[in-house]
């Protein structure tokens, strides 16, 4: 069916992303930067995910690859929070969503900059935002 083909296409893209940019809970700013770069290099993936969420609301989160990926990300963040590597003032579930949102929001809400310096600035701002949200506060 058309829906099954669409799901298969998104699954293949998600698997490529997961293979290329594994999450590193001990370096979330670096992870955000690598995810940003992957998204810049694969602009079709973000458009495909957005289109999928419009055409098949809620289905992306139900796909086994996506669900498993989120479970692993949340578990890694919980572990990093327990070890004191990641700030624990936000739940691991919400933190995962916020990190992904920060990375992708700057690429969805405005055109991707043509100027390399502007792109570098957006990448640096993304890294900084994730860093400020996740690095444990000095007590």
Q: In this predicted model, what pLDDT tens digit does every residue of 93-134 receive, in sequence order?
A: 999 999 999 998 877 777 788 899 999 999 999 999 999 999
The rounded percent of the chain whose pLDDT value lies above 90 is 54
Q: What pLDDT does residue 139 have?
A: 63
pLDDT band for 46, please (50, 70, 90 cuts): confident
Q: What pLDDT does residue 61 have?
A: 79
Choose among 102, 18, 22, 112: nearest CA to 66. 18
Note the pTM of the prediction, 2 decimals. 0.88
Q: Locate all alpha helices (DSSP H) within 21-115, ordered by sequence.
A: 28-41, 43-55, 59-62, 64-82, 92-108
């Amino acid at each position: 069916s058309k829906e099954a083909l669409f799901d298969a296409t998104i699954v293949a893209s998600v698997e490529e992303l997961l293979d290329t940019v594994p999450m590193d809970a001990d370096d979330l700013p670096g992870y955000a930067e690598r995810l940003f770069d992957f998204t810049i290099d694969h602009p079709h993936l973000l458009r495909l995910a957005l289109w999928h969420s419009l055409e098949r609301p809620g289905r992306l989160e139900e796909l086994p690859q996506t669900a498993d990926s989120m479970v692993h990300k949340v578990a890694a963040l919980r572990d990093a929070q327990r070890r004191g590597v990641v700030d624990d003032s936000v739940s691991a579930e919400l933190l995962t969503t916020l990190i992904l949102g920060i990375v992708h929001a700057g690429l969805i809400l405005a055109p991707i900059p043509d100027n390399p310096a502007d792109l570098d600035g957006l990448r640096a701002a993304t890294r900084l935002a994730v860093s400020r949200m996740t690095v444990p506060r000095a007590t």
